[in-house]
Amino acid sequence: MSDTLSQTQRSYNMSRICGKNTKPEILVRKGLHARGFRFRLHNKKLPGSPDIVLPKYGVAIMVNGCFWHGHKGCRYATKPKTNIEFWETKIARNRHRDEVTTAHLEALGWTVITVWECELRGKLESNARLDKLADEIRFIGESKIQQDARRLCSKTELKKMKQEILRRQAQLEAEIDLLFPIPTRIKKASLEE
């Protein structure tokens, strides 16, 4: 009985970590704000509704939890010892979604920066990462001004491409279900996630 309870509790905790407005995400937002950047959150009109979007700079930022997004070679991405099949499926789905979403965003002219949870551990590391992030954003923003000038002449073409990519993004979710089906045995248990 108590085992079931702790499992439910852990599943709840995990889903919190996986969701929006996570602690690392808030750290990045605060850090960017303090460095003078203004941004939009979870823009649903863009593939994968990126966590943080800076339209002026053409930058989309994903703040990824190391466990959930399977950060390669990261010591914080260790998998739990129970329900392995379930966690591996979930992580595989997230990784696939991250890859395809990034490709879609890039095709739309966005530059995607991923900030990993482990890069924000400790005040010194966190500040260093945020300084670097600010530099990256400014650098990308410079080249965006040149890109925009080129794009102005093909606005209708860009609109068409945008619609096509959003359509494909919708297909991706169905594709993920096919590629990495969640075993039905545990699908029920995680319905609330």
Asked if residue 68 binds Zn ion (CB under 5 A), the reply is: no
Spatial separation of the C-alpha atoms in residues 138 and 11, rounded to whole Å: 39
Asked if residue 118 binds Zn ion (CB under 5 A), the reply is: yes
DSSP state letters, 3-71: HHHHHHHHHHHHHHHHSSS-HHHHHHHHHHHHTT---EES-TTSTT--SEEETTTTEEEEEE-TTTTT-
Closer to Zn ion by Cβ: residue 12 or 76: 76
Asked if residue 57 binds Zn ion (CB under 5 A), the reply is: no
Write the CB contacts of 70 (distance below 8 Å, at least 6 apart in sequence): 77, 91, 92, 94, 95
Closer to Zn ion by Cβ: residue 86 or 116: 116
Asked if residue 71 binds Zn ion (CB under 5 A), the reply is: yes
Minimum Å gap between C-beta 74 and Zn ion is 3
Q: CA neighbours within 13 Å on the CB side: how many for 96?
A: 18
Going by DSSP bridges, is the β-strand pair 59-64/52-54 parallel, antiparallel, or unpaired? antiparallel
Question: Which window, 22-30, 57-65, 71-79, 176-184, contacts Zn ion (CB under 5 A)?
Answer: 71-79
Question: Which window, 14-22, 83-91, 100-108, 114-122, contacts Zn ion (CB under 5 A)?
Answer: 114-122
Q: 35 is written with which tokens?
A: 């460095």
Q: 85 is written with which tokens?
A: 């099949």
**Do 90 and 14 form a contact (C-beta atoms < 8 A)?**
no
Asked if residue 74 binds Zn ion (CB under 5 A), the reply is: yes
Asked if residue 66 binds Zn ion (CB under 5 A), the reply is: yes
How many residues bind Zn ion (CB under 5 A)? The answer is 6
Asked if residue 54 binds Zn ion (CB under 5 A), the reply is: no
Minimum Å gap between C-beta 71 and Zn ion is 4
Minimum Å gap between C-beta 72 and Zn ion is 9
Contacting positions for Zn ion (CB under 5 A): 66, 71, 74, 76, 116, 118
